[in-house]
Structure 1
């Protein structure tokens, strides 16, 4: 009998499908659970999963369950299916916010023999759906584990194993507050900026004139409105602080330009160049 854990992926969209395919390709038994039978059929036909079901109760077969659902839906799903988890199961997620997600789910699972440990794969595309799933998106990506005092070393190690199997570039451990503050700046604010830039002008010929700089800056403006609205509101206080900090930074540049202050602009360019070099891979 194999000592390898059996995985269940709940929600076979872009990331759920990418997780499933990556784990399956690595030789693991993967159970895919989705709402639509056609999604299961696609996943089976394309070797994303070992078996699939539209019945959530099939999670009882899995040692490790990864929830690839929107935060609100995920909390409700765990509440409804908490008694279906295999005794001793490790449960995780991929949600982009943690403060209003982790404790509610850990509280739900307190009366059953299952442990929830939160993670966040810093990877994705500007498209959705299993047909776009591809585990190669993880290869240069960061993986964040968000443990609490209620998490065991076994659960933390299980998530490190997942990150290794999927070939994530770097693994970090952050507290819930550290995670949501970092994500408020690195992910959520950047999406706000991209969306705002894209919506600044509606000139119908912009596409004929644009260069790579505009394309690069607005790549993430093609956005899933349901998911990102929910994520922003879950992290509202931190995101508002980051927007205000960005406005203050933008105002420094605005004042330098207004005052013909070439030296200040040069210093801003030098500072940004030096900081950006750290991100080059």
Structure 2
């Protein structure tokens, strides 16, 4: 359980890390920050996101009761491998990573000889921009929060993550296995980004903005993408994402064939089916608001 004495360390003060820091500080908790650039630390201090911060990784780490990583997954693994000796006993460690396979098990194995616990989480919140200057806790209020425990995690850690999500005002909290999470995220997030990027790369026309409509804007909103982060996420989840891409190719190929054959009935069937599924999605989404 989170108490008011709990001290948090956010490692990586980007969009999500900065938003976590902001939210926890607003709730009255002591928040420390580690970042690569002094400018980031200065910004966080000036905007009252953290109580203390620095760029050097030293005994400063041992002040924290809870460490939350706002780093890319592979960078987080390397950080833990390098600096785990600085983490004090009984520390709870978590993350914001968008992929769990080949990350969670590696970290838990790395920490098996220490009296600490790593439990992975995924805040399903974000924006098309990156950096601490875009940190904003408002994006949590309509977002889902996913906890992905393994058999190495305690019930206390799961409850702590639930309390963390509640403290940050997430809309809905769910628990999935690592495998369930990565299958879900491949379809609901990663495939959507693949489609948006592919759509933007279909035509190179600088005048599109002069006559585009809401449909194109809505479909391509997420095509403004962080190339470093998403390349890493896609590669970590490669096999699952490839399967989702292949299923999408089958679906769009079927639609192409239906159009080619002028099969009106099948086209109407596809429209009706998609409408029904979207309405069901809308109902469930509204229920969670």
Given the two structures, how large is their TM-score scaled by the length of structure 1?
Answer: 0.97
What runs of 5+ residues in structure 1 fail to find an aligned partner? none
Q: Distance in 2 between matches of 1:247 and 1:66?
A: 38
Q: 1:154 aligns with which of 156, 169, 189?
A: 156
Q: Distance in 2 between matches of 1:150 and 1:103?
A: 9
Q: Distance in 1 between matches of 2:63 and 2:159?
A: 20
How far residue 264 of structure 1 moved from its aligned partner, in angstroms, is: 1.1
Correspondence for 1:33: 34
Correspondence for 2:194: 192
How far residue 3 of structure 1 moved from its aligned partner, in angstroms, is: 4.6
Q: Deviations over 1:205-253 (max 9, x none)?
A: 1111100100000000000001100110101100100000001111121
How far residue 204 of structure 1 moved from its aligned partner, in angstroms, is: 2.2
Correspondence for 2:131: 129
After superposition, where does 1:1-150 map in structure 2 within 5 Å?
A: 3-57=4-58, 58-150=60-152
SS of corresponding position for 2:142: coil
Q: Distance in 2 between matches of 1:40 and 1:110?
A: 31
Cα RMSD after superposing both structures: 1.0
Report runs of 4+ in structure 1 exceeding 6 Å deviation. none
How far residue 93 of structure 1 moved from its aligned partner, in angstroms, is: 0.6
SS of corresponding position for 1:111: coil
The size of the alignment, in residue pairs, is 280
Q: Distance in 1 between matches of 2:120 and 2:275?
A: 34
Correspondence for 1:239: 241
How far residue 37 of structure 1 moved from its aligned partner, in angstroms, is: 1.3
SS of corresponding position for 1:239: helix
